[in-house]
Homo-oligomer: A and B are copies of this chain.
Amino acid sequence: MKYDPVEIFKALSNPSRLEILKFIYESGFTGTLEGESICCEQCSCMGDVVGKFNLAPSTISHHAKELVRSGLVKMERDGQYMRLLPNPEALQAAAEYMEKVVDSTKGK
């Protein structure tokens, strides 16, 4: 498999990190931040996340790295800023993995 389910579950297993992920996914491909984002209107950047959560920048940076490591999020530099982009394919893959485990109990 392209994504390691254990790494994905580990990334999702911390409440702060899960909320950060949701924030990134929700503001992912939209202009919903309506100009509030100092980075761009098509994504969240580190600063947006730092502004949203009551955690030190270094902590946010660490969590972001974990999300990237697992494949759930992609990151790219945009000048001074770091764009955080959802990678739904990874989350989808993990969900499908779980469905397979569910199905392994079926028809028995």
Contact = CB atoms under 8 A, between A and B. Distances in A.
Nearest to A21: B101
B91 A29 contact: no
Copies of this chain per assembly: 2
Given A88-B102, A91-B101, A101-B25, A18 B30 contact: no
Which of A10, A29, A101, A102 has most chain B Cβ within 10 Å?
A101
The range of chain A's interface size is: 20 to 34
Closest 3 CB pairs between A and B?
A29-B108, A30-B108, A9-B12
A59 interface: no
Contacts of A21: 101
A61 to B, nearest CB: 21
